[in-house]
């Protein structure tokens, strides 16, 4: 028997307040109903989709604060406007090369990246037409409030464009797409993990893990990436791959910068990474228990950048660059944005702290990567001018 993850509440997690617990109870009831409708077993990716995005209930769809200090996690645009400002020269180069002024940001969170990038592009002489495609109605409303100043320049889309030329941005979006969980059994057969309803009154969660034989297409795909090591548990993000592949249908001319934490495939499925990369974030506590606190915590998996690059090629796009976030931001001129010693010491200290968080090896600098994919773009991209690691994908 292969051991399935144990469901328990990690020690040290803050206690949710009564309102949050009442909300989570509603999310639980919705998930239990979904499991019932699915015949008693819901594949984990469907469970994750509902826990994060069910309208009005899911983690991203309901009204809690997710980003910043009082939320659950902090992303690069939330750390400092320097992130968006450093992106600006690279975005400007892509816009120029694609003969467009349109930026399309997916999953814009609180709107922090747009709030930094729009004025930075203006400083470079570009009056950007900024589009946002956001799944969460709640986040869309927050973005509209934050970006009120640039209302005339920003447009929210309800669906993918039929054709697009310009620069596409997705910061920490791929990791938020639902992942399929799998495990190799002792006979070399692939099992898919799903969730059942377990009404045991003392349990940490009313949900339990259960596996089923994986459908043959999934088993074939996994076998081509991961050798069958008994008990090895990991994930594959078919939805994120499909999203990148589909970009090939609508991105006519331009490039997408996909920024996220993750690795090339050989590192992703390293034999020592026995339990995959699935992580949850609740009030700045990271843990590996996705079946607890439904609706109150983020659930995420690292990105397999080799799979994303392959999906882009399958969609007819070129892979234009791949490097660490630190290298990308340095190439794009982040250091030159830091104010000189002597002028406003407190602001300079804040900028140096942000520089360390964004580029430090033990912070976001090395774990986070930037992958550029696109079509009909000539010449090397600025952000990958030194330290391009495409050969490692
Ligand atoms: C971890 S948050 C990152 C937010 C923001 N980009 C940032 O860096 O602060 C993930 C975001 O992606 C959005 N999202 C997930 N899947 C999406 C999709 N297929 N299309 C558009 N947005 C998506 C979520 O609603 C959320 O806004």
Q: Residue 64 falls within a domain, yes or no?
A: yes
Q: How far is the CA of 172 from the centre of ligand 1 (A)?
A: 6
Q: How far is the CA of 74 from the centre of ligand 1 (A)?
A: 13
pLDDT reported for residue 275: 94
Question: Is residue 9 over pLDDT 90?
Answer: no
Any atom of ligand 1 within 6 Å of the Cβ of 24:
no
pLDDT reported for residue 350: 95
For the CA of 110, the closest atom of ligand 1 is 9
Output the residue whose Cα is nearest ligand 1's atom 5. 109
Give me 223's structure tokens: 């076998």
C-alpha span between 323 and 388 (Å, rounded): 5
Q: How far is the CA of 65 from the centre of ligand 1 (A)?
A: 14
C-alpha span between 382 and 393 (Å, rounded): 20
Domain holding 186: CATH number?
3.40.50.12710
Q: How far is the CA of 342 from the centre of ligand 1 (A)?
A: 38
Output the residue whose Cα is nearest ligand 1's atom 10. 173
pLDDT reported for residue 221: 96
For 177-216, write each residue's pLDDT tens digit: 999 999 999 999 999 999 999 877 667 789 999 999 999 9
pLDDT reported for residue 67: 62
Closest-CA residue to 16 (of 285, 203, 200, 279): 285
pLDDT reported for residue 70: 66
Selected residue with higher pLDDT from 136 and 250: 250
Any atom of ligand 1 within 6 Å of the Cβ of 143:
no
pLDDT reported for residue 115: 97
Q: Residue 339 falls within a domain, yes or no?
A: no
Q: How far is the CA of 134 from the centre of ligand 1 (A)?
A: 7
Question: Is residue 175 over pLDDT 80?
Answer: yes
- Domain tally, the chain: 1
Output the 3-class SS for 98-129. HCCCEEEEECCCCCHHHHHHHHHHHHCCCCCE
| DSSP classification of residue 175 | G
Question: Is residue 63 over pLDDT 80?
Answer: no
Q: Residue 58 falls within a domain, yes or no?
A: yes
Spell out where 158-278 has E strands. 164-171, 180-184, 190-197, 207-213, 233-236, 251-263
For the CA of 61, the closest atom of ligand 1 is 25
Average pLDDT over residues 114-122: 98
Q: How confident is the model at residue 45 (pLDDT cuts 50, 70, 90)?
A: very high
Give me 386's structure tokens: 């030194």
Question: Is residue 157 over pLDDT 60?
Answer: yes
pLDDT reported for residue 200: 77
C-alpha span between 331 and 325 (Å, rounded): 10
Could you tell me which residues come within 8 angstroms of residue 11 by beta carbon, excluding any fewer than 6 positions away? none
C-alpha span between 267 and 276 (Å, rounded): 11
Q: How far is the CA of 197 from the centre of ligand 1 (A)?
A: 28
Q: Residue 198 falls within a domain, yes or no?
A: yes
What domain range is 27 assigned to? 18-237+262-303+346-366
Q: Residue 337 falls within a domain, yes or no?
A: no
Question: Is residue 1 over pLDDT 60?
Answer: no
| DSSP classification of residue 168 | E
For 64-116, write each residue's pLDDT tens digit: 666 656 677 789 999 999 999 999 999 999 999 999 999 999 999 999 999 99
Q: How confident is the model at residue 26 (pLDDT cuts 50, 70, 90)?
A: very high
pLDDT reported for residue 250: 98
C-alpha span between 269 and 235 (Å, rounded): 9
pLDDT reported for residue 365: 96
pLDDT reported for residue 65: 62
Q: How confident is the model at residue 138 (pLDDT cuts 50, 70, 90)?
A: confident
Q: Residue 189 falls within a domain, yes or no?
A: yes
| Least trusted range by pLDDT, from 1-5, 35-39, 180-184 | 1-5
For 290-346, write each residue's pLDDT tens digit: 999 999 999 999 999 999 999 999 999 999 999 999 999 999 999 999 998 888 899
Average pLDDT of the residues of the chain: 94
pLDDT reported for residue 254: 98
Are 143 and 110 a contacting pair, CB within 8 Å? yes
Any atom of ligand 1 within 6 Å of the Cβ of 108:
yes
What DSSP string runs through 372-393? EEEES--S--GGGSS---GGG-
Any atom of ligand 1 within 6 Å of the Cβ of 139:
yes
| Least trusted range by pLDDT, from 12-21, 40-49, 218-227 | 12-21
Q: Residue 216 falls within a domain, yes or no?
A: yes
Q: Residue 211 falls within a domain, yes or no?
A: yes
Question: Is residue 279 over pLDDT 60?
Answer: yes
């Amino acid at each position: 028997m292969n051991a399935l993850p144990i469901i328990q509440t990690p020690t040290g997690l803050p206690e949710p307040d009564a309102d949050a617990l009442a909300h989570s109870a509603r999310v639980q009831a919705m998930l239990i109903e979904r499991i019932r409708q699915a015949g008693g077993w819901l594949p984990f990716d469907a469970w994750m989709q509902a826990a994060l995005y069910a309208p009005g209930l899911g983690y991203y769809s309901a009204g809690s604060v997710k980003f910043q200090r009082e939320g659950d996690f902090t992303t690069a645009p939330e750390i400092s406007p320097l992130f968006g400002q450093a992106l600006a020269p690279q975005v400007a180069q892509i816009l120029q090369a694609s003969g467009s002024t349109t930026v399309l940001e997916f999953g814009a969170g609180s709107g922090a990246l747009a709030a930094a990038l729009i004025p930075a592009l203006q400083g470079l002489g570009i009056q950007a037409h900024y589009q946002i495609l956001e799944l969460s109605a709640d986040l869309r409303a927050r973005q509209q409030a934050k970006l009120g100043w640039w209302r005339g320049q920003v447009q929210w889309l309800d669906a993918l464009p039929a054709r697009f030329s310009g620069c596409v941005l997705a910061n920490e979006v791929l990791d938020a797409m639902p992942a399929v969980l799998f495990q190799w059994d002792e006979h070399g057969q692939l099992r898919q993990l799903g969730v059942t309803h377990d009404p045991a009154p003392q349990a940490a969660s009313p949900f339990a893990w259960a596996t089923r034989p994986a459908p043959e297409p999934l088993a074939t795909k996994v076998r081509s990436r991961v050798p069958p090591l008994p008990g090895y548990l990991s994930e594959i993000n078919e939805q994120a791959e499909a999203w990148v592949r589909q970009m090939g249908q609508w991105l006519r001319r331009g490039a997408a910068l996909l920024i996220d934490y993750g690795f090339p495939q050989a590192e992703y499925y390293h034999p020592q990474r026995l339990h995959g990369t699935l992580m949850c974030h609740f009030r700045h506590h990271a843990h590996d228990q996705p079946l607890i606190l439904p609706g109150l915590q983020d659930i995420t998996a690292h990105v397999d950048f080799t799979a994303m690059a392959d999906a882009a090629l399958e969609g007819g796009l070129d892979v234009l660059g791949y490097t660490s976030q630190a290298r990308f931001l340095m190439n794009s001129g982040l250091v030159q944005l830091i104010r000189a010693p002597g002028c406003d010491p407190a602001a300079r200290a804040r900028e140096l702290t942000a520089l360390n968080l964004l580029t430090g090896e033990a912070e976001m600098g090395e774990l986070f990567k930037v992958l550029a994919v696109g079509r009909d773009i000539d010449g090397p991209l600025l952000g990958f001018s030194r330290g391009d690691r495409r050969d490692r994908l």
